[in-house]
């Protein structure tokens, strides 16, 4: 994994009970400024990330541990960077996306930019896996399209959604082959479900097909080392193609505002 510390602030450390160093004291003082100060904040993982695994349901034990000094996490988590009052898209890149998604989206968009693609294609590449960053992986293209739809051109949202299906199907006419890494991810005998095959076929006949197909072409299907990319290089393109709400993402009352709030406060109990 490459060192992108120059372009992305490090996440805050979790707050411990003891404060034995100057840094611990500083973090403890910071925690006091957050909601629920002075109490142990307990986090109950979302069911969708646990169901089907060997992890036992933690809810009974967590609820049994409630006390005046132990509460369920609500609001800002001191272990995460605090988001600005009016978050922008770049704020989510810097403060919420996982490292792989952060590098993956920037690398994809930079490839499209360097090869002279239209800005709407660059924008679609920059957003195509946004759901993987800090929300949900399953059907990430569909979720991602819903997240960004109120803020981008309809064609960009369409491309984000349809890349989910198109990436499974080669198109030799444009040089797109089935990703070799998918054999490792899913097994060589994997067959996409019917809704994916249906949506891919519909996309092939759509006037915006190439916009979404280009997203798959500039996608990065391996996650090795990559040169750090500062998201600020996309500031002008974002300004022209992403309608940043004055109230901040998550607080503008859009149909997807709740999704942005979930990324702001991913550990809320309710």
**Pick from 117, 86, 113, 81: nearest CA to 96:** 81
- CA end-to-end span of the chain: 34
Copy the structure tokens of residue 243.
């309608």
- Angle between helical axes of 194-204 and 209-218 (0-180°, round to 10): 120
What is the architecture, at CATH level 2, of domain 89-264? Orthogonal Bundle (1.10)
Residue 149: its pLDDT value, please?
Answer: 98
Residue spans of beta strands (DSSP E) within 43-94 = 70-72
Q: Which residues contact 89 (CB under 8 A, 6 or more apart)?
A: 238, 242, 244, 249
- The CA-atom distances, in angstroms, between 196 and each of 164, 169, 201, 237 are 8, 10, 9, 30
Say if residues 196 and 248 touch (Cβ distance below 8 Å). Answer: no
- The CA-atom distances, in angstroms, between 3 and each of 76, 221, 229 are 27, 20, 10
Can you list the alpha helix ranges (DSSP code H) found in the chain?
Answer: 22-31, 59-64, 89-95, 99-114, 119-127, 130-134, 140-148, 154-166, 180-186, 194-204, 209-218, 235-241, 257-264
> What's the number of CA atoms in the CB half-sphere (13 Å) around residue 210?
6
User: 46 burial class (0-12, 13-18, 19+ CB within 10 angstroms)?
Assistant: middle
Q: Which residues contact 265 (CB under 8 A, 6 or more apart)?
A: 74, 75, 76, 77
- Domain boundaries, given as residue ranges, for the chain: 36-72, 89-264
Residue 227: its pLDDT value, please?
Answer: 78
Can you give the pLDDT of all 270 residues of the chain as single tens digits? 334 443 444 333 333 333 345 545 555 555 557 778 888 999 999 998 888 999 899 999 999 999 999 999 999 999 999 999 999 999 999 999 999 999 999 999 999 999 999 999 999 999 999 999 889 999 999 999 999 999 999 999 999 999 999 999 999 999 999 999 999 999 999 999 999 999 999 999 999 999 999 999 999 876 666 678 999 999 999 999 999 999 999 999 999 999 999 999 999 999
Total residue length of the chain? 270
**Pick from 213, 253, 215, 238: nearest CA to 93:** 238
> What's the number of CA atoms in the CB half-sphere (13 Å) around residue 78?
23
């Amino acid at each position: 994994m490459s060192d992108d510390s120059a372009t992305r602030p490090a996440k805050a450390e979790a707050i411990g009970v003891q404060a034995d160093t100057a840094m611990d004291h500083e973090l403890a003082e910071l925690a006091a400024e957050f909601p629920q100060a002075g109490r142990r904040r307990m986090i109950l993982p979302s069911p969708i990330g646990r169901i089907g695994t060997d992890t036992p349901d933690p809810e009974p034990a967590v609820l049994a541990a409630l006390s005046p000094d132990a509460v369920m996490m609500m609001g800002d988590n001191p272990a995460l960077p605090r988001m600005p009052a009016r978050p922008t898209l770049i704020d989510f890149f810097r403060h919420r996306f996982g490292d792989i998604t952060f590098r993956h989206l920037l690398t994809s968009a930079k490839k499209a930019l360097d090869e002279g693609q239209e800005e709407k294609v660059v924008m679609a590449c920059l957003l195509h896996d946004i759901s993987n960053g800090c929300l949900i992986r399953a059907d990430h293209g569909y979720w991602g399209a819903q997240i960004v739809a109120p803020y981008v051109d309809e064609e960009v949202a369409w491309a984000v959604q349809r890349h989910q299906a198109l990436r499974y199907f080669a198109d030799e006419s444009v040089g797109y082959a089935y990703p070799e890494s998918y054999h490792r991810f899913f097994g060589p005998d994997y067959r996409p479900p019917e809704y994916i095959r249906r949506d891919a076929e519909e996309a092939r006949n759509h006037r915006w097909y190439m916009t979404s197909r280009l997203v798959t072409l500039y996608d990065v299907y391996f996650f090795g080392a990559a040169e750090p990319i500062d998201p600020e290089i996309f500031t002008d393109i974002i300004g022209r193609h992403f309608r940043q709400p004055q109230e901040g993402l998550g607080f503008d009352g859009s149909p997807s505002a709740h999704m942005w709030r979930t990324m702001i406060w991913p550990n809320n109990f309710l």
